[in-house]
């Protein structure tokens, strides 16, 4: 693919005898909302964890904008890859705003000496981060909850909060792990609206989602995994008509 922003080559990861991700080579098109589908146990989450650096691969390579992507999760966020979690992970006993203000990289006040001695500089940075965080919270409709403990907002709001945190890092690619799962329909629509708006502004998304309606309406292309392998790439409409994919969902073994 000519304009791939995120690529994997021969990515493998096993857990004991189970080959969770088996020789996955794929290209994520710049500016797309790429849907990642497949039955439970297909290896979608493992693939996400490999991309995000939570797990090291047994073999294979990942590249973002042509540059190799390796190392721990923190290095990948710095490189421009953001991710949200399937089950939201808010910093529960911190305010919604603090959750977001945490995200900017290289804050002076994040070091011991910067915090104690660099008060003037820190104050300036904090004012900037606060303004930007409020802007983003406003964008994701959470501004009224800025001072709420993040552990006491709804599950859907937590998903919006995770998106807001990630946006503070200006990522070029955002991995969303089941954004619509367990969220009430109104908030899902809000979240989808925000994803579409960010995508229109140039952010690439890779989305794991089981809600086929969501995938049909918003994802292009769709990549399907089964038993750790890519079994289909194409449009959402083609995915629905694909017999191999249907078999995979119905539990038939995948032909090598």
Partner 1 sequence: MIGLISYLVFFTTVASILAIAVMGLNLHWGFTGLFNGGVVASFGAGAYATLILGGTPQAGHLGGYGWPWPLALAGGLVAAGVLAWIVGVLTLRLRRDYLAIATFGVAVTFENVMRNAQGLAGGAQGVRGFERPLQDVIGTGLSYNVFFLAVTLAALILTYVVLERLVRSPFGRLLRAIREDEEAARALGKSPTRVRLTSFVFGSVVIGLAGGLYGTFYAFVSPQDVLPILTFQIWAMLIVGGAGNNRGAVAGTFLIWGAWTASGWALARFAPVEAQLYTGSVQFILIGLVIVGMLLWRPEGLFPERLAPASKTADDRGKLEPGSVT
Binding residues for partner 1, rule: CB under 8 A, are 52, 54, 72-75, 77-78, 82-83, 85, 89-95, 97-99, 101-103, 105, 107-112, 114-116, 119, 122, 125-126, 130, 134, 146-149, 165-166, 168-169
Helix axes 155-167, 119-139, angle to 10 degrees: 130
Q: Which C-beta is closer to partner 1: that of 175 or that of 230? A: 175
> For the chain, what is the radius of gyration of the CA atoms?
19
Nearer Cβ to partner 1 (77/214): 77
Residue placing its CB nearer to partner 1 in the complex, 46 or 230: 46
State the nearest-atom distance from the C-beta of 122 to partner 1, in Å. 6
Q: Which is nearer to partner 1, 94 or 254 (CB)?
A: 94
Give the ranges where the chain is alpha helix by DSSP (H).
44-52, 73-79, 96-101, 112-117, 119-139, 155-167, 185-200, 212-218, 236-241, 243-250
Least distance CB 98 / partner 1 (angstroms): 6
Which residues sit opposite 13 in a β-bridge? 21
Nearer to partner 1, 92 or 252 (CB): 92
**Residue 6 β-bridge partners:** 28, 64
Question: Minimum CB separation from partner 1 for residue 55, in Å?
Answer: 12
CB of 74 to partner 1, least distance (A): 5
Q: Residue 5 Cβ, how far from partner 1 at the closest point, in Å?
A: 19
Tell me if 225 sits within 8 A of 215, measured CB to CB: no
- Check the CA dihedral 21-22-28-33 and report its sign: negative
DSSP H stretches of helix in 56-102: 73-79, 96-101
Q: In angstroms, how far is the first alpha carbon of the chain from the final one?
A: 24
């Amino acid at each position: 693919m000519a304009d791939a922003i995120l690529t994997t080559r021969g990515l493998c990861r096993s857990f004991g005898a189970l080959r969770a991700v088996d020789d996955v080579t794929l290209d994520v098109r710049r500016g797309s909302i790429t849907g990642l589908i497949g039955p439970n146990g297909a290896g979608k989450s493992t693939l996400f964890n490999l991309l995000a650096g939570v797990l090291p691969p047994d073999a294979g390579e990942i590249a973002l904008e042509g540059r190799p992507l390796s190392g721990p999760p923190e290095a990948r966020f710095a490189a421009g890859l953001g991710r949200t979690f399937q089950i939201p992970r808010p910093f529960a006993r911190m305010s919604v705003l603090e959750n977001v203000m945490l995200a900017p990289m290289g804050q002076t006040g994040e070091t011991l000496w910067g915090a104690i001695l660099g008060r003037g500089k820190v104050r300036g940075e904090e004012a900037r981060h606060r303004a930007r965080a409020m802007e983003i919270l406003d964008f994701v409709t959470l501004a009224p909850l800025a001072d709420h403990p993040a552990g006491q907002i709804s599950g859907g709001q937590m998903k919006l909060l995770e998106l807001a945190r990630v946006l503070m890092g200006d990522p070029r690619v955002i991995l969303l792990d089941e954004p619509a799962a367990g969220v009430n329909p109104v908030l899902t629509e809000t979240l989808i609206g925000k994803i579409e708006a960010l995508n229109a502004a140039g952010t690439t998304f890779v989305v794991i989602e089981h809600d086929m309606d969501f995938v049909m309406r918003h994802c292009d292309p769709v990549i399907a995994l089964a038993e750790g392998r890519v079994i289909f790439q194409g449009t959402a409409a083609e995915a629905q008509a694909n017999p191999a994919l249907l078999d995979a969902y119905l539990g038939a073994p995948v032909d090598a």
